[in-house]
Chain A
Amino acid sequence: MRKTLLESLTHGSLAEPAPVPDESALAELAAKVDRAAQARLGRSLAIREVDAGSCNGCELEIHALSNAFYDIERFGLRFVASPRHADVLLVTGPVTKNMRQALERTYNATPDPKWVVAVGGCAIDGGIFRGSYACVGGVSEVVPVDLHIAGCPPSPTDLLKGLLALLENVSGKG
């Protein structure tokens, strides 16, 4: 174990330079994030992930954000276990009817100010599951959405671009 630990310390970091925040995300957010919230939060956001019926593909890539290459915590972004500790809800899936109530209750349990980021093609409008008897079809039909990150699934870099745009807006740099 010591050898592995030592090597990890002596070898250079695998973390890659931050990508440039996504332009369209910056534009979408500019209109939504108010100054009061910016003043209160500083450059740190706690994220609660909610799977509202995804295929699990988006979760795999959200997980990847924590690996050594993307190292999301260096930006002040971290995942938390409860909506009560969260500033941001990261929601995936076409919102199945069976998950609708759980999503609403998670949203209501998150303190203000809060933002909702809809991740993946399904979360935008139901994607390929749109029209099913079992899906609501899009996160914005259930809770207000501040930012959409497209992709099936979006790559970790796409996710990071969107989240950095959110961070810049929230911390007053947008």
Chain B
Amino acid sequence: MGILDSIPHVHAVPSHRPWPRAVVTEAGWQAAIDRLVEGGLTLLGFWGEPTAVHMAMIDGGSAEIAVVTYECTAGTFPSVAGHHPPALRLERTIHDLFGLVPTVADDLRPWLDHDVWSKSYPLSGRDASRDVRPYQFLPSEGEALHQVAVGPVHAGIIEPGHFRFTANGEHVVRLEQRLGYTHKGIESLMQGASLAAAAKLANRTSGDSAVAYAFAFARAVEAALDIEAPSRATYLRGLMAELERLANHLGDIGAICNDASFALMHAQTGILRERCLRAANVAFGHRLMMDVIAPGGVTRDIAPDGVAALCTLLAEIDKVFPRLIELYDNTASLQDRTVTTGIVKTEYARQFGAGGYVGRASGRNFDARRMLAYAPYDRLSFEVPVLEAGDVNARVWIRIREVEQSVALIAQILDMMTPGEIMSALPAACGECEGLAVTEAFRGDVLIWLKLGQELRVERCHLRDASWFQWPLLEAAIEGNIIADFPLCNKSFNCSYSGADL
């Protein structure tokens, strides 16, 4: 049975691919919310347009996806967040950007809007001014409580964001995040952009996931235009995606240990990470492999000495990495910091649809590469590690196991790849069409939805980072832990600021 069979809808939109999108009435919208609340469906995305809101949902059992659309004829829509908390930040963002009002909302404080843009509701297409009040953090009451304000400029070389801790002595009673500092207006720059310009923006939504974003963007365009990338191009995309995952996971494993003052691991994984980036540079001409994946395929083939560079890299990881795993596993002082620290309950991971290592360390068996089996992963064999403990240690182990899987995947792809075309021609023009794509970045699933207009220009593009559904869980995970363990917990999540601030 399809998702839309159980949700009353007015009509399905024929030009939306590959999954269906349907316009619903208030009853249909409410039915969708009910399915999210009862847990039959998981919220995959929630975004606005000047006069409509869309919700993408996935059925965890059948891997089926559907989008429902509510037309906000009166400038309002029934609040999702009031019933389903994972939608809250997305709902506040829809209000910030489009001025649409959720009814009845418990929390309509601004999220991305810090009242310095010189205009309100920048994507609404109309002039309206917002009633601005000083930002109120949520209250915590108690005699001995004190607040610690951190950021937006942090002590390390990391992205900006504000953390407001309320603590009782050493212990965190409440953490509230205030993000949006890196909001660049990417979705407004997308409007009217050519495919080439839009792809550049997608590559730079979150620099550590440039490949995953470019991959999702290309797939969304291909879905909209109903074309497919050539087989060799999909293998090359897979190579880059796994290289990106390797580099990030290796960097993270070391950085997490470093936040527990275990610098040796950081130094060792730093060497492996650098070797990954150098191999990427040899094979694809850019250390972060930006702008190689494009709608239709890839813009360049792997360099002649690229295969050798990758083989050398794999051999080096095979040699060094097992020793590093042993080092992690046998250092009691390190385990003392990571085991039982920052636990994410399995129930929260399920409810929020937390992707990546955050979800998989807390029992959520979801990986877009396997669930949605997009090319080339439909032809590759790999395992998706899942643990239940949900602590920093589990998030480290998921990464360790995924490094091993990525090494095996790269070897498989190098084996299976055959010569051939790397780019399918795009049509010169198209009617209005829409595409949706989900790819698995190193930190979790990236969703991109777009609408193309005449001359292949982007009319609207929404990019949803995995971090949207992970950041709120960090607030829950730190509760009852000591403030000194926050860097460790935060690094074990390694959420994106830029990807979620847009």
The answer to whether B497 and A96 have CB atoms under 8 Å apart is no
Q: Which residue on chain B has the smallest CB distance to residue A155?
A: B287
Q: Does B230 contact A (CB under 8 A)?
A: no
Q: Which residue on chain A has the smallest CB distance to residue B151?
A: A102
B residues in contact with A152, CB < 8 Å: 204, 290
Band of interface residues on B: 35 or more
A171 CB to nearest chain B CB (Å): 24
Q: Which of A17-25, A36-44, A124-132, A141-149 contacts B (4 or more CB under 8 A)?
A: A124-132
* Distance of A4 Cα from B251 Cα, bound (Å): 18
Band of interface residues on A: 35 or more
A30 CB to nearest chain B CB (Å): 28
* Distance of A63 Cα from B258 Cα, bound (Å): 13
Q: Does A27 contact B (CB under 8 A)?
A: no
The answer to whether A57 and B204 have CB atoms under 8 Å apart is yes
The answer to whether A67 and B271 have CB atoms under 8 Å apart is yes
* Distance of A99 Cα from B271 Cα, bound (Å): 33
The answer to whether B288 and A57 have CB atoms under 8 Å apart is yes
* Distance of A134 Cα from B116 Cα, bound (Å): 8
B159 CB to nearest chain A CB (Å): 5
The answer to whether A5 and B264 have CB atoms under 8 Å apart is yes
The answer to whether B207 and A153 have CB atoms under 8 Å apart is yes
The answer to whether B208 and A60 have CB atoms under 8 Å apart is yes
B92 CB to nearest chain A CB (Å): 15
The answer to whether A53 and B158 have CB atoms under 8 Å apart is no
The answer to whether A1 and B330 have CB atoms under 8 Å apart is yes
The answer to whether B185 and A56 have CB atoms under 8 Å apart is no
The answer to whether A98 and B323 have CB atoms under 8 Å apart is no
Instruction: Answer whether A129 and B184 are a contact pair too, CB < 8 Å, given A55-B498, A134-B117.
Output: yes
A61 CB to nearest chain B CB (Å): 7
The answer to whether B267 and A135 have CB atoms under 8 Å apart is no
Q: Does A81 contact B (CB under 8 A)?
A: yes
* Distance of A101 Cα from B194 Cα, bound (Å): 33
A residues in contact with B184, CB < 8 Å: 53, 94, 96, 129, 132, 134-135
Q: Does B180 contact A (CB under 8 A)?
A: yes
Q: Which residue on chain A has the smallest CB distance to residue B197?
A: A128
Instruction: Answer whether A67 and B273 are a contact pair too, CB < 8 Å, given A81-B155, A99-B160, A102-B160.
Output: yes
Q: Does A118 contact B (CB under 8 A)?
A: no
Give the interface centre of A94, A97, A134, A152 by most chain B CB atoms within 10 Å. Answer: A134
Pick the contact of A133: B114, B188, B273 (CB < 8 A): B188
* Distance of A63 Cα from B269 Cα, bound (Å): 13
The answer to whether A55 and B206 have CB atoms under 8 Å apart is yes
The answer to whether B119 and A60 have CB atoms under 8 Å apart is no
A residues in contact with B201, CB < 8 Å: 128
Pick the contact of B498: A3, A54, A62, A153 (CB < 8 A): A54
Name A65-84 residues within 8 Å CB distance of B.
Answer: 66-69, 79, 81-83
A residues in contact with B180, CB < 8 Å: 98
* Distance of A67 Cα from B277 Cα, bound (Å): 12
* Distance of A134 Cα from B180 Cα, bound (Å): 11
A140 CB to nearest chain B CB (Å): 18
A91 CB to nearest chain B CB (Å): 11
* Distance of A97 Cα from B122 Cα, bound (Å): 13
Q: Does B393 contact A (CB under 8 A)?
A: no
Q: Does B315 contact A (CB under 8 A)?
A: no
Q: Does A160 contact B (CB under 8 A)?
A: no
B280 CB to nearest chain A CB (Å): 12
B residues in contact with A5, CB < 8 Å: 264
Instruction: Answer whether A69 and B157 are a contact pair too, CB < 8 Å, given A98-B116, A100-B116, A134-B183.
Output: no
Instruction: Render B238-276 as a binary contact track against A, CB cut-off 8 A, 1 for contact.
Output: 000000000000010000000000001001101101100
* Distance of A4 Cα from B268 Cα, bound (Å): 9
A residues in contact with B210, CB < 8 Å: 57
A residues in contact with B497, CB < 8 Å: 56
Instruction: Render B94-131 as a binary contact track against A, CB cut-off 8 A, 1 for contact.
Output: 00000000000000000010101111001000000000
The answer to whether A51 and B182 have CB atoms under 8 Å apart is yes
The answer to whether B183 and A98 have CB atoms under 8 Å apart is yes
Q: Does A167 contact B (CB under 8 A)?
A: no
Q: Does A50 contact B (CB under 8 A)?
A: yes
B residues in contact with A63, CB < 8 Å: 157, 251
A103 CB to nearest chain B CB (Å): 8
* Distance of A128 Cα from B181 Cα, bound (Å): 18
B238 CB to nearest chain A CB (Å): 22
Pick the contact of B182: A57, A68, A83, A99 (CB < 8 A): A99
B residues in contact with A61, CB < 8 Å: 287
Q: Does A49 contact B (CB under 8 A)?
A: yes
Q: Does B153 contact A (CB under 8 A)?
A: yes
B residues in contact with A99, CB < 8 Å: 152, 160, 181-182
B327 CB to nearest chain A CB (Å): 6
* Distance of A79 Cα from B154 Cα, bound (Å): 12
Instruction: Render A81-110 as a binary contact track against B, CB cut-off 8 A, 1 for contact.
Output: 111000000000110111111100010000
Q: Which residue on chain A has the smallest CB distance to residue B156?
A: A81
Pick the contact of A132: B181, B189, B197, B288 (CB < 8 A): B189
In the complex, the 5 A-B pairs of residues with the closest C-beta atoms, listed nearest first: A57-B207, A132-B185, A134-B185, A81-B155, A55-B207
A-B contact pairs, 20 of them (CB 8 A): A1-B327, A4-B323, A14-B271, A52-B160, A53-B183, A55-B207, A56-B208, A56-B496, A60-B251, A68-B271, A96-B182, A97-B116, A97-B118, A102-B152, A128-B197, A132-B184, A132-B189, A133-B122, A134-B184, A153-B288
Q: Which residues of A come within 8 Å of B, CB atoms?
A: 1, 3-5, 8, 14, 49-64, 66-69, 79, 81-83, 93-94, 96-102, 106, 128-129, 131-135, 152-153, 155
- Contacts A5-B264, A67-B271 known; list 17 others, CB within 8 Å: A1-B327, A51-B160, A54-B182, A56-B207, A56-B496, A57-B288, A67-B274, A68-B271, A93-B182, A98-B180, A99-B160, A99-B182, A102-B181, A128-B189, A132-B185, A132-B188, A133-B117
